[in-house]
Amino acid sequence: MNPTGFAKWVQNLVWILPLGFMIWFREYTLPLLFMLIIALLISALLKPLVNIIEMLVVKRWGSAIIVYVAVFVLAGWGINRLWPVLADQAVSFKEYITMDTLAQLKLKSETLLIGLLPQSLHVQVHEIFISLDTMMNDIWGLLVANIQTSLTQAGSLVLTVGSLLISTLFIIVFSFFFVLEGNRYKKAFIRMIPNAYFEMTLHILEKVTTSLGSYVRGQLLAAMAIGVLSILGLFILQAVTPIYIPYTILIGTIAGVANLIPFVGPVMGMIPAVVIYLLTDQTVPIEFMHIVLIIITFGCVQLLDNILVSPMIMSESVGLHPLAIILAVLLGGSIAGPVGMLFAVPILTMVKVIFKELIWGLKSYGYM
Amino acid sequence: MSDPFWQNIFKSDRNSDSHIRLTIQQVQIFKDLSKRELAAIENILHTRKYLKGETIFRENTPGLGMYIILKGEVSIIGLNSENEQVDFARLSDGDFFGEVSLIDESVRSATAITTSECELAAFFRDDLMDILTKTPKTGNKILMNLAFVISRRLKHTNDQLRHQSGEYHPEVL
Work out the pLDDT band at B13, boundaries 50, 70, 90. very low
What region does B169 belong to: left with phi over 0, alpha with psi -120 to 50, or beta?
beta
Instruction: Provide DSSP, A278-334.
Output: HHS--SS---HHHHHHHHHHHHHHHHHIIIIIHHHHTPPP----HHHHHHHHHHHHH
pLDDT score for A97? 67
Given a cut of 50, the residues of chain A with pLDDT beneath it are: 1-3, 161
pLDDT score for A3? 45
Please check whether residue B117 lies inside any domain of the structure: yes
Largest CA distance in chain B: 69
Please check whether residue B125 lies inside any domain of the structure: yes
Helix (H) or strand (E) holding A19: helix A16-24
Contacts of A204 (CB under 8 A, 6+ apart): A357, A358, A360, A361
- In tens, the pLDDT along B20-57 reads 888 898 899 998 899 888 988 998 899 999 999 999 99
Domain boundaries, chain A: 194-368
Distance, in angstroms, between A363 CA and closest chain B CA?
9
Distance, in angstroms, between A55 CA and closest chain B CA?
5
pLDDT score for B93? 92
3-state secondary structure of B97: strand
Pick from B133, B138, B140 the residue to mutate for testing the A interface (most A CBs within 10 Å): B133
Work out the pLDDT band at B135, boundaries 50, 70, 90. confident
pLDDT score for A2? 44
Q: What is the CATH number of the domain that holds B61?
A: 2.60.120.10
CA atoms within 13 A on the CB side of A171: 21
Angstrom CA distances, A111 to A3, A16, A193, B167, stand at 85, 66, 68, 95
- Residue B154, pLDDT > 50, answer yes
pLDDT score for A343? 78
pLDDT score for B2? 54
CB-CB under 8 Å, B46 with A198: yes
Work out the pLDDT band at B172, boundaries 50, 70, 90. very low
Nearest to B48 among A195, A200, A206 (CB): A195
Distance, in angstroms, between A39 CA and closest chain B CA?
18
Angstrom CA distances, A327 to A265, A341, A349, A352, B49, stand at 14, 10, 13, 14, 47
- In tens, the pLDDT along A127-171 reads 777 776 666 667 666 666 665 565 555 555 555 545 677 888 888
- Residue B87, pLDDT > 80, answer yes
B117 vs A contacts (CB less than 8 Å): 4
* pLDDT-wise least confident of A74-78, A279-283, B138-142, B157-161: A279-283
Please check whether residue B85 lies inside any domain of the structure: yes
C-alpha A205/C-alpha A160 separation (Å) is 30
State how many domains chain B has. 1
pLDDT score for A149? 61
Residue type, A255: A
pLDDT score for A144? 62
What are the beta bridge partners of residue B74?
Answer: B91, B114
C-alpha B168/C-alpha B21 separation (Å) is 40
Work out the pLDDT band at B85, boundaries 50, 70, 90. confident
Distance, in angstroms, between A350 CA and closest chain B CA?
22
CB-CB under 8 Å, B124 with A190: no
Highest mean pLDDT among A221-225, A273-277, B138-142, B158-162: B138-142
**Do the Cβ atoms of A316 and A218 come closer than 8 Å?**
yes
pLDDT score for A22? 79
When the pLDDT of each residue in chain B is averaged and rounded to a whole number, the result is 85
Pick from A1, A12, A193, A199 the residue to mutate for testing the B interface (most B CBs within 10 Å): A199
Q: Domain residues for B155?
A: 10-161
pLDDT score for A362? 87
Please check whether residue B1 lies inside any domain of the structure: no
B5 vs A contacts (CB less than 8 Å): none
Between B118 and A366, where is the model more confident? B118
CA angle at residue A327 from A323 to A331, to 5 degrees? 170
User: What is the DSSP secondary structure assignment for residue B102, as one 8-state letter?
Assistant: G
pLDDT score for A6? 64
Mean pLDDT value of segment B111-121: 94
